[in-house]
Chains A and B, each alone.
Chain A
Amino acid sequence: MEKINEFRMTLWAKSVNEGFCRAAVAAFAAQADPTAEEISDIKTAVSEAVTNCIVHAYPHTDGRIYLSCQLYRDGRLRISIRDTGCGIEDIKKAREPLFSTMGGDRSGLGFSVMESFSDKMLVRSRPGKGTTVILEKRIRGRT
């Protein structure tokens, strides 16, 4: 399917950028005339993915988040959220609902929410190299 638009950005893995990332993706998606529910789903999934980079990827160093977004003619939005951080040892375990390596107020729902609020989720990770999460959401729109 033909790609009709794309954007890429690089940000520091700082929590203040969580709101910026989801707002940027939502603003980009707006050209496909999504419903309020579709925008809300996209923002939620992006927020979870970006938060994972910030919370987990760079425990001891400053790092960057690479966010890119492609829009296809059929309304499919493909969002890639990549870090070059510590990676995930056991992706299967990380994707289990309520599993968290962090204590405190982390719910362990990140991947479950991403999966539930998008149409498709792919996770690729290599320990010590980094993690890429690809989210796909078909925007059917208001028409």
Chain B
Amino acid sequence: MPVQLTAQGKTLFALLSGDIDHHTAPALREQIDNAVTEYRPRMLCLDFSAVSFMDSSGVGLVMGRYRHNAAFGGDTQVCGLSPSAERIMKMSGLGKIVSFKKNAEGG
């Protein structure tokens, strides 16, 4: 399973794992969007701590999930980024709309 989804209160945790690239992102996107549509969390927490590799497809993945979740009124946060993944995320300016945390803590 490349993404493990767990609901806790109003928070939906998505623990991503493996490589995130243009090939693997669509399956992740679909699973997370389906869970968000069904559960309508107040906070979506995308946890990258088990991700082994990420290129700029990870930015698209976060941006798209932020938009989808915001359409239902939810916020999105990102945690567990490797230094390299964090560098890519920051290049995109995503930090203006999504909060970056060290560890998954919900909200």
A: which residues have CB within 8 A of B? Answer: 15-16, 18-19, 22, 37, 40-41, 43-44, 47-48, 51, 54-55, 97-98, 104-107, 109-110, 112-113, 116-117
Contact = CB atoms under 8 A, between A and B. Distances in A.
B55 A44 contact: yes
Contact of B55 (A16, A48, A104, A105): A48
Nearest to B26: A105
B29 A47 contact: no
Contacts of B39: none
Given A104-B60, A105-B63, A44 B22 contact: no
Interface string B56-94: 110111011000000000000000001110011001110
Given A97-B91, A107-B92, A16 B23 contact: yes
Given A15-B22, A105-B25, A113-B56, A98 B64 contact: no
Nearest to B88: A113
A19 B55 contact: no
Contacts of B93: 98
A104 B64 contact: yes
Nearest to A17: B23
29 contacts: A15-B23, A37-B84, A41-B84, A43-B53, A44-B54, A44-B55, A44-B84, A48-B55, A51-B21, A55-B22, A98-B92, A104-B60, A105-B25, A105-B61, A105-B63, A105-B64, A106-B60, A107-B56, A107-B59, A107-B63, A109-B56, A109-B92, A110-B56, A112-B91, A113-B55, A113-B56, A113-B88, A116-B87, A116-B91
Interface of B: 19, 21-23, 25, 29, 53-57, 59-61, 63-64, 82-84, 87-88, 91-93
Could you tell me the dominant secondary structure of chain B's interface residues? helix
A51 B55 contact: yes
Given A22-B53, A48-B56, A107-B59, 6 more contacts: A18-B23, A19-B19, A40-B53, A47-B53, A98-B92, A113-B88
A135 to B, nearest CB: 13
Contacts of A47: 21, 53, 55
B59 A109 contact: yes
Contacts of A98: 92-93
Most buried by A among B23, B54, B93: B23
A64 B69 CA distance: 37
